[in-house]
Amino acid sequence: MTEITDLAALRRAMAENAEQPEGPARNARAEQLLGAAEGLRVPLAVIEALGHQLSVYNYSSEKDKMFVPFARLLRLWDERPGDFDAYETHSLHWVFKWMSAGMLDQPHIPLASIEKWLGEMERRYRLAGYSERAVRGAEFSVATHVGDLARAERAYAAWLAADRDEMADCHACELYGQGLWQVERGRDEAALTAWRPVLAGEFGCAHEPHSVLAASLVPLLRLGRAKEARAHHLRGLRLVRPMESMRAAYAEHVEFCALTGNEARGLELLAERPAYFTDTGQPRSRLDFLAVVTLLTDRLTELGLGGERVPGPAGRAWTARDLAAHARTQALALAERFDARNGTSYVGDRTRARMARRPLVDRLALGVRTPRTAPAAPAAAPPSAPAAETSLPALLAEAHRLADTLRPEAVDAWAAVARAAGDGELAPADRASVADHEAMSRGPEGAELFERAAGLYAAAGDPGEALAARARGAYFRALRGEPDPALARVTALAEEVRALYAAEVTGVRQTASVLMSRARILMHRARTGAGPARDADAAVREVPALIEGHGARDAGDARLAARVAESWGMLAELAGAAGDGAGAAELLRRAVAEYVRAGVPWCAVEYEVQIAALAEQAGDGEGAERALRAALEHGGRYVEPAGQVQLHLRIADLTAERGAVAAAAEHALQAAHRADEAGESGTSGAWARQRLGGYLLRQGRCAEAAEVLESALADLRAGTHGDEAVVQARWWLGDCLEELGEHRAAAEQRLLAADIARHWPEQRDHATLAHLAADSLGGAGLVAEADRAYARAGELWRALGDTRLLVRSLRARAWLAPREDSGTAAAEGLMAEAVEVCERALENAADARALGGLTRELAQTHRQFGDLLAQAGDPAGAHFERAITLFASLGPAALHDRTAAELAAAELASELGHPGEATARAHAVLAAYENADEADETVRARRAQAARLLGTAG
């Protein structure tokens, strides 16, 4: 540890400590620095060290420690105000506000003491000449905390009416408090209106928009704006997660999870911050946290998960039920201490109301991996029915209804009939249906069961249905690997059913069923190459010819309509196999229309997916998207979650291709959600999150994208998803983190991606990632590491023959050299190498486009070379002149670059005492923009700079 020998060293050490993460380690260092300051025997050093200590305590879980340094500071001020400079005088008065809030947070401090302190704050602010705004804001906080709403209304009005001065909180913090008051008064919409400038980034500070994002979650949910709430959760959680002092805001994110069916994610958040259960430095935020823990664990217990293990205070294992009881007891005890201090029941009432909140959304998709804690809520059911409806006759009626309308639940319904009937008597026809549906449920392994069903149908006096059951058995035998016997069997059955139909012994439905089984077997043979397509074609056409020729299709029988639709689908398959894509698509559309007309749209899903594939082959992305959307709409709840995942992912790809990125993100979000529901979080769910992260990044929603991509990377595996998917996710995440200012983390992701890409045959991605990693390392202040990464990238650009990017890597290294203490000579050598590489490439440029690009790059290099030399105090004019000449050769396209170089040269000339040259260059810039568009911001800036130079030179 560097020894503190003077005030400058102390200030450097305090600045370094201020940059450290919030927490006990930073606090302990501040205490050490106070000791060092006292050893300097400089009053201002002690004052500044006390202020630093007070600040780190305030932004930590040890807020209760800040009263001691403040009391000491105040005593020093009262005794020797002359020891305080202007900054420390301002700071002392500023932290009066922290003391007011801090006292409210500590239930052992009497309310009378807080009121007395409020008066002291008012007196001292008046003596210092400050506005009442901060004082009335503090009074408002006291009134709202104790539940004196009438006083709070008066203080709120006085707060806003007072002038804003240098003691007023920043705009962002003030708007946060104003919005909270609107929520308190039941005006959610007004709160969000108040917070809008903070959420839009117009105002911000160290704790904003962090607190506003957290506070907005429940109001947004209550207003039905769940998508915005989700975005605020992902964005806000990322901001508060590393900040120890933001326990109350963190609790609001846990609460959001408990109220949106994301209990599992809520538990993950509890596990991330175990110290929040026990940190006692700020009792009020601990109360908030414990109340939310109670809400979450009560919810788990209500869902039947009270015995599940959950994260809790260290030292023992916790079940949800145990933690709920513990957190409730602790929270109510804390609330009682506040109420006893305040003389009201307000804090306890609010705490109990918060713990009793009910979910506002059944299950909100978040995009990050969030397994469901409880089963999905069932679809709305009719009111409770009398027990008679579960009787055997009721079950039979329901089974017939479901079978006649082709509902997928029919198989289960007939199984329920069988269970209810037991050994009791069923009519032969019903026993036949039970056997028939059991056979269907077993697939190819149930082929023999169809014979039993056929015997029962025959016994029931329905020979046509008996033949249909045997035909189904034949088809299942074909699927089982017995195509030839199956064909012989079904051909004989078809002859029998035709004879029965001609004799009017059976109907169209039974006959069509047998003929459809024969068509299916012939289609199976055609697919496997065991039979000609023409035989399948003829057999398929026989089915709709029979049904439509006798008007049976219009009788409202869903089964017959389905036979016709399936026929068109088979003919479409044959057309596609013959190369007639347009014909296949038309037949598939006919099949879909038939299913929809018959009231069984869920049967059309497979055909709509096929239509989409044909549309894509034909280059009709919009047509493919329409078909896939129809598949989702028509399939509804009958499409399994895994199928919904694939449909949403494909739609996302198609919508993104046409530039509708927001719509693509919504479909990727739904795909991720459905994957979690289907238990496929680690497979298709990772794919969906990877794409969702990319779409969010394209919209500039970097914080949300980072959360989603980090979640995706937890599951993305090269063996499952491919190297490319992993590299792309890390690449996107690096871009997000760079945009968020997390340079070191961005560099890590880019280096990890580069390490994978270095094994690829094509090295452009490897080079790009190495270059981007160097940018991030430089941004993180890791100069030596950045230089090595740029050097690595430069070698790759050289091998790839990309002069432009090689030159940029050399320039970047040149700018790093002085920061690395390599000296000006090293920097100049790298710039000179960049010039040489560029000039050599210009000599060999093959076309005008390459010539123009390299000329611009050479001009930029000379311009930067000049800047580098000017900063070092070395002659730079020749490089500026060369840059100006090169930019001028590129014409109007490089006008702004030329004038920038001209002005840089003018500034240098002015600094070197050459006013004539500076004036001439400034006039040249004004002349270049003589007829330029005044609305162009760059034009205005260049003219203003030139005018300033002329004024200086004059």
pLDDT tens digits, one per residue of 464-484 = 999 999 999 999 999 999 999
Residue 385 confidence (pLDDT) above 70:
no
Beta bridge partners of 318: 310
Assign 447 a pLDDT band (cuts: 50, 70, 90). Answer: confident
| pLDDT score at 413 | 92
pLDDT tops 60 at residue 758: yes
Q: What is the DSSP string of 285-323?
A: HHHHHHHHHHHHHHHHIIIIITTSEE--STTS-EEHHHH
- Burial level of 193, CB count in 10 A (0-12/13-18/19+)? middle
**Does residue 386 have a pLDDT over 60?**
no
**Per-residue pLDDT reduced to its tens digit, 927-938:** 988 888 888 899
- Taking 90 as the threshold, does the pLDDT of residue 373 lie above it? no
Q: Which residue has the tokens 């579960």?
A: 390
Does residue 824 have a pLDDT over 60?
yes
* The pLDDT value given to residue 445: 85
- Residue 63 CA to residue 507 CA, distance in Å, equals 85
Q: In the predicted model, is pLDDT for residue 954 greater than 80? A: no
In sequence order, what E strands does 156-262 have?
Answer: none
pLDDT reported for residue 591: 95
Phi and psi torsions of 24, nearest 5°: -60, -35
Confidence check: pLDDT of 771 > 70: yes
Closest CA to 646 of 620, 608, 615: 608
Amino acid 652: pLDDT:
96
> Using CA atoms, how far apart are residues 705 and 737, in angstroms rounded to an integer?
9
Q: How confident is the model at residue 822, as a pLDDT? A: 64
Backbone angles phi, psi at 869, to 5 degrees: -65, -40
Region 189-209: what's the mean pLDDT?
Answer: 95
The tens digit of pLDDT for each residue in 882-903 reads 999 999 999 999 999 999 998 9
Dist CA 690 CA 679 (whole Å) = 17
Q: Residues 277-309, buried b or exposed e (16+ Cβ, 10 A)?
A: bebebbbbbbbbbbbbbbbbbbbbbeeebbebe
Are residues 735 and 765 in contact, defined by beta-carbon separation less than 8 angstroms?
no
Between 41 and 388, the more confident residue is 41
For residue range 912-926, list pLDDT tens digits in order. 888 888 999 999 999
Q: Which residues contact 548 (CB under 8 A, 6 or more apart)?
A: 564
What band does 384 get if pLDDT is binned at 50, 70 and 90? very low
Q: How far apart are CA 640 and CA 49, in angstroms?
A: 64
Residue 388's pLDDT is 39
* pLDDT at res. 548: 87
- What are 252's two structure tokens? 């609001």
Distances (CA, A) of 939 to 182, 901, 928, 932: 45, 14, 10, 7
Does position 945 have pLDDT exceeding 80, yes or no?
yes
Is pLDDT above 50 for 42?
Answer: yes
Residue 931 has a pLDDT of: 84
Helix/strand/coil (H, E, C) string of 674-727?
HHHHCCCCCCHHHHHHHHHHHHHHHCCCHHHHHHHHHHHHCCCCHHHHCHHHHH
Residue 792 has a pLDDT of: 96
Residue 569 clears pLDDT 70, i.e. is over it: yes
Token digits of residue 484:
């030839």
Which pLDDT band holds residue 38 (cuts at 50, 70, 90)? very high
Tokens of 195: 């917070």
pLDDT at res. 823 = 67
Alpha carbon distance 880, 510 (integer Å): 91
Does the pLDDT of residue 872 top 90, yes or no?
no
Sign of CA dihedral 294, 296, 298, 301: negative
What is the chain's alpha carbon radius of gyration, rounded to the nearest angstrom?
Answer: 38
> What's the whole-number mean pLDDT along residues 65-84?
92
- The whole-model pTM stands at 0.85
Q: How far apart are CA 544 and CA 563, in angstroms?
A: 7
Q: Indicate if the alpha-carbon torsion angle 270, 676, 700, 190 is positive or negative.
A: negative
769-785 average pLDDT score = 95
| Mean pLDDT over each residue of the chain, to the nearest integer | 92
| pLDDT (average), residues 181-187 | 96
Find the distance separating the first CA and the last CA of the chain, reported in whole Å: 53
Task: Give the pLDDT mean for 375-382.
Answer: 40
| DSSP class per residue in 16-53 | HHHTSPSSHHHHHHHHHHHHHHHHHT-HHHHHHHHHHH
State CA 394 to chain mean position distance. 48
Q: How confident is the model at residue 555 (pLDDT cuts 50, 70, 90)?
A: low
pLDDT beyond 80 at 423 = no
Instruction: Please say if the pLDDT value at position 850 is more than 90.
Output: no
Residue 519: is its pLDDT beyond 90? Answer: yes
Predicted confidence (pLDDT) at residue 618 exceeds the cutoff of 80: yes
pLDDT tops 50 at residue 798:
yes
pLDDT one-digit tens code per residue, 691-748:
999 999 999 999 999 999 999 999 999 889 999 999 999 999 999 999 999 999 999 9
**How much is the average pLDDT of 775-779?**
96
Mean pLDDT of 360-365: 94
Q: How confident is the model at residue 134 (pLDDT cuts 50, 70, 90)?
A: very high
